Amino acid sequence: MESINIGLAGLGTVAQGFLEIVGQKKRVLSDKLGRELKIAKVASRSQKVDLEEFGAVFSTELSSLVEDPAIDVVIELIGGEKDALGLISAALKKNKHVVTANKEVIAKHGNSFRGEIDSGQLRFEAAVAGAIPILQGIGVGMVANDFSSITGIVNGTSNYILSNMSIEAASFEESLKQAQKLGFAEADPGFDVDGIDAAHKLTILMALAYGQPFSFDKVVTEGISHITSSDIQYASELGFAIKPVAVVRRSEDTLAAMVYPALVGFDRILSRVNGVMNAVEVESDYAGRLFFSGPGAGSLATASAVVSDLGLIARNQGSVYPSLMGTEKLGVTYPDQSTSCCYLRFDVVDEKGIFARITGALSDSGISIDEVFQKNRDGGRASIVMITHPAREKDLEDCLSNVGKFGELLQPIQRIRVLS
């Protein structure tokens, strides 16, 4: 049986999961793919695992994978940006196939690979939503469809934190510490809790679904660190869960892409995606609404997606995702003209007339209220909580800027969008 020679870069968590799968399923995979998967060489800073069963040569030089003419496929699992970018670029220029799980490199530098791809393939299923085959689903399974929107929970760390805040009635800080203790969050969690990781993934989904160049710099991001346990409680009383969502919507010839915490109604499946699970909801013209869900991270889950890309290369199914071709030119705009319902919380000194002043200011700006209640606290404090009817982003921002100057306010106004 003909073999496909693999050069593996990295020996971290996902790489070790990949070795485990190939070691356990080598015969099954060979039978399914019609080619033997042979790990010929591994490059990493140090040899963390025993490679004897694979008969692989070990090197500390990443360039050795590119320069070896016997290597057919380079699998990049080193993470980070600079070294990974250099390795992927060099491998493509040598006409080698490349499989990567590196969402940052694809989101920020994917456009540059267009001129470097000749006979090699570049695949990155594992870069988005772990084990969920969302890129194949959108790029191949739904190729006949136009997409009106894509909505996802694509960062397991943020989802775990907000889920834990809800289930345990814990604060953001307490839930973050728990996520770090369990290995779900890094020591520096900024990429996750500030929405950057999810923005990388949304950039890839947007490029693939809409035939766009990669536009990471056009994705608006908002983190979750300002969400409080009180917000979780009040949202629940109103019939919502707070979830970290990544959303791209098409309106005629423009796209609006955002990553933000949102109130999601309990009647939507997305509201019940908890812990480190991921989910993606796709709205399309022919297939309608489809929902994908599964583990978004983890050694074996992510490695499973790496193996799926390797399988497509072994079967020689297609040359490259169409997103790299930039087939359609749509504007990606800041969604200040879009409309949405919003959750608002005003923490105020409980004085006569403050409720009327706030609601009057909203009314003067053309913003109407759907639901509202007041929670009185000790010490003459109160929280006024409301859900607005749909309002333009810009109108609401201008109104809240003015209300924020009221002397009765004890802290900045909390605003959380409601997912439509």
Q: Which residues participate in catalysis according to the annotation?
A: 201
Beta strands in 183-253 (DSSP E): 220-221, 240-251
Q: Residue 154 burial by CB count (10 A; 0-12/13-18/19+): exposed, middle or buried?
A: buried
Q: Residue 355 burial by CB count (10 A; 0-12/13-18/19+): exposed, middle or buried?
A: middle
The four Cα atoms 49, 51, 54, 60 give a dihedral, to 10 degrees, of 100
DSSP 183: T
- Using CA atoms, how far apart are residues 202 and 180, in angstroms rounded to an integer? 24
Q: Are 408 and 348 in contact (CB under 8 A)?
A: yes
Neighbours of 313 (CB within 10 A): 22
Q: Residue 404 burial by CB count (10 A; 0-12/13-18/19+): exposed, middle or buried?
A: exposed
Q: Are 345 and 234 in contact (CB under 8 A)?
A: yes
Query: What are 153's strand-pairing partners?
Result: 279
Q: Are 132 and 292 in contact (CB under 8 A)?
A: yes
